Structure 1
Amino acid sequence: MWFVFALLSAVFAALTSILAKIGIEGVNSNLATAIRTMVVLAMAWGMVFLTHAQSGIGSISRKSWLFLILSGLATGASWLCYYRALQVGEASKVVPIDKLSVVITLVLAFLLLHEEVSVKDVVGCVLIGAGTLMMVL
């Protein structure tokens, strides 16, 4: 089931890029990010209440709060940079560079989470990196 959700995530991320590129025309990138964030916030809290998950707030540990907040700050910084890049660059160039996050995530997962990295993973990352270079040069 994780694969279905991951695939849907990729489809929606692709739509996000195209819809954002069209919608950001003539709009300050920071304002556009804030509008997008308001919609995401409403959707996320809507799902919390729809699934009755709000009762779990009190059981979240301090460590989880800290890392969820840090993750939120990283997401915000990513979105602000992404929208600015989309505003001034071509979507077909910005998106491949943004997807280098796959390679960076693998490296960070290895260094910080001590996850195993196989030869297949390294080859995949090299191919992603090479493919990104080919697309943006």
Structure 2
Amino acid sequence: MTSQAASRQWVAETAEEADNILRAARNLIDGRMLTLCPGDALARIKLRATTPFSVHVAFGENAQGGAAQGPGGQPEPWVASTAQQALDLLEAARLLVDSRMLALYPGSPGHRYRHSRTTPLTLHITIDDSALARQAAEQHALLRQIENL
């Protein structure tokens, strides 16, 4: 099994795009965790706390951590170094996007959804899963060696 690891950078310019890239980033982490620990959900949950995974989340124009502020007024960027921290930061960002949309467009979820396509909200996400990919590749190589004994 070979694994392609890379640094990925996503930028959203609307609330809808932010929601989509937050979901994509979470799915990427979950997918990588499945390669490391297939079949055992409980072990995977425990492993998240120590599995290396680099994520940077920044709201606003400045993805490098300048004076940009998130919708909740949080300083930027947020940085995670484990899979669990990354998942927590992505969830926090999703909740901030949701709270902004609820404040701007209270009432009907359909009304909020229509406006999410045009509501400006800049979100930068950078993910580097190379350490996790190396760990998964090493584990699979060890399993192959054990199977060949």
- TM-score, normalised to structure 2's length? 0.30
Larger helix percent = 1
Larger strand percent = 2
Pick 1 or 2: higher relative contact order, CA cutoff 8 A, min separation 6.
2
- TM-score, normalised to structure 1's length? 0.31
